[in-house]
Amino acid sequence: MPSGCPCSLRRMSSTEQISQTVIQYLDLVAKGQADDIATLYAEDATVEDPVGGEVHIGRQAIRGFYSVVENANGKADVVTLRALGNEAAFYWTLTIHGMAISIISVMTFDEDAKIASMKAYWGPENVSPVSV
């Protein structure tokens, strides 16, 4: 930080770091690598997926949540990604287990570009079968 800055200012992640973390997250979700996904999160992070469902608190609970996609060999396609300040919002499609899920996700990040919170907006109306 420049000298003379108030002590209350914290170092923030850059939008490039945040965008890279989001892209890495999507790649790992598609591949079903729960352990690696969990390492992208801060120790005390939260996941609410979908919004209105259970909130998973802490890296261990988050790892457990992502265990449902382990070794999924799916595909993630980003439609749009916006990273500003310490937040990112992105619209994407996850194709996994014979279905395509259209999702809007919102993440906040800590100063080390670790995910501090993630909320995923989707419901049954956003899921469609995929022809094999």
Catalytically active residues, by annotation: 25, 49
Give Cα 72 distance to the centre of its chain.
17
Structure tokens at 121: 């907006």
Instruction: Please list, residue by residue across 95-124, b when 16 or more beta carbons sit within 10 angstroms of its beta carbon and e when fewer do.
Output: bbeeebbbbbbbbbbbeebbbbbbbbbbee
Tell me how far apart the alpha carbons of residues 8 and 21 are, in angstroms, rounded to a whole number: 25
DSSP conformation letters of 45-81: EEEESSTTSPEEESHHHHHHHHGGGTT---EEEEEEE
